Amino acid sequence: MGRAYAARRNEDLGPHDRSNVSGLSAHVRRRLLREDELASAALAAHGLQEADKFIQEVCWRTYWKGWLEMRPSVWADYQAGLARDLEALERDGALARRYQDAVAGRTGITCFDAWAGELTELGWLHNHARMWTASIWIYTLGLPWRLGADWFLRHLIDADPASNTLSWRWVCGLHTPGKTYLARAGNIARFTGGRFQPGPGELAREAPPLADDPGHPAPAPLQSGARPDPAAPVFLLITEDDLHPESWGVGALDIAGGAVLDAKEGLSPLPRGAAAQAFSASALEDARQRASDAFGCAFSTKTSIFDAKQAVLNTPARQIVTQRPCQGPARSALDAAAPDIRSAGLSLIELRRDWDRAFYPHAGKGFFKLKQAIPAVLRSLGLH
């Protein structure tokens, strides 16, 4: 987490050597490990100056989530655009063949095809490889960016709707207007230790910004998060956004029951990759078992928010308590079910962690603003 990480974190040493990165992203994405835990460990071992790069990387995920939380229409626009792109695949045979060659690693571009194989088989890519792959997808292969974002979202074991969608938008110039990312042969050769050396003319030489976006919507006010009635029984609803209910601060409440919501159907119209699905299923089951042990009552797994609502009605609880999920499948499921939940006489209480409450207000523009605030925010959280 200190100087060694800062010096070598950008190197893609290959799938059999990840010694220069933490490899914790799939756990942090689901809060099996919390951001404050990582920051605390880094600060204790190295201090803020030497742990600066590691903590910044932790905060990038927070930045993406906070930015999208204030602009939920960007996720809705992505989903609508993806539906159109998938329809185009059905109509356009040539596009479908190019798409299938790309996801199967049959493009003839050695580095891209290797990364496609890593993604499909292992469900993980080095951060640089993600940027290179996205850039080649868009600018060399000329494929729609949303189809690439969907490919990543379905296969990465650490796939996060905010980080994934906004990172792809950044590569093609839609997040920071006019700023794109071009995969360069020299950069790839350098940071892969010469494992890959794209030849002259193999990669696109320009990365013009895409022009299919109306611009950023104005940021919406952040919701502060409600508080449950401590005198009434509650039903805990756990989503993949936060699988650590033991640290929700609800131990003093009367927990009458609970459920883990597997909202994978809202991730994509296409099936999830095997590695990603296996990791997700294991993490959800782990959370279900821990919650049952921690709160002394049965927790079930539900694939529908409406089934979860029925489980609540079978308990004395009339308030559902959850950690507020960011934009993505769980958020969409809760929003869609909100009228039905209210009509059943239930209230939905969405908590927000101190980490998010402290950092999200700094995520309204670019990352630099949040980066500047890191020391002060860490102090406010009692971590620095």
Residue 17 annotated as binding site: no
Tokens of 310: 């029925």
Q: How far apart are CA 32 and CA 25, in angstroms?
A: 10
Flag residues of the chain having pLDDT under 70. Answer: 212-214, 225
Query: What is the reported pLDDT for 213?
Result: 65
Residue 335 annotated as binding site: no
Q: Where are the beta strands (DSSP E) in the chain?
A: 234-239, 255-261, 299-302, 319-323, 347-351
- Coil/strand/helix, residue 204: coil
Query: What is the reported pLDDT for 190?
Result: 97
Per the listing, tokens 């590569």 go with: 171
Separation of CA 78 from chain center: 14
Radius of gyration, alpha carbons of the chain: 21
pTM higher than the cut 0.85: yes
Query: What is the reported pLDDT for 89?
Result: 97
Q: How far apart are CA 295 and CA 151, in angstroms?
A: 37
Per the listing, tokens 């609508």 go with: 80
Domain with residues 234-351, CATH architecture: 3-Layer(aba) Sandwich (3.40)
Domain range annotation of the chain: 3-69+358-380, 75-191, 234-351
Exposed e or buried b for every residue in 345-356, given b needs 16+ CB within 10 A? ebbbbbbbbebb
CB neighbours of residue 297 within 10 Å: 14
Q: How far apart are CA 108 and CA 383, in angstroms?
A: 49
- pLDDT of 22-34, one tens digit each? 999 999 999 999 9
| Contact predicate 75/372, CB 8 Å | no
Q: At 94, which helix (H) or strand (E)?
A: helix 93-103
Contacts by 290-297, CB closer than 8 A, 24 or more apart: 290/245, 290/246, 291/236, 291/238, 291/245, 291/246, 291/258, 291/260, 294/245, 294/246, 294/251, 295/236, 295/245, 295/251, 295/255, 295/258, 296/255, 297/255, 297/256, 297/257, 297/258
Residue 307 annotated as binding site: no
Under CATH, domain 75-191 is a member of which superfamily? DNA Cyclobutane Dipyrimidine Photolyase, subunit A, domain 3 (1.10.579.10)
Query: What is the reported pLDDT for 214?
Result: 66
Residue 158 annotated as binding site: yes
Query: What is the reported pLDDT for 223?
Result: 81
Tokens of 187: 């950069």
Query: Looking at residue 210, what DSSP letter applies?
Result: P
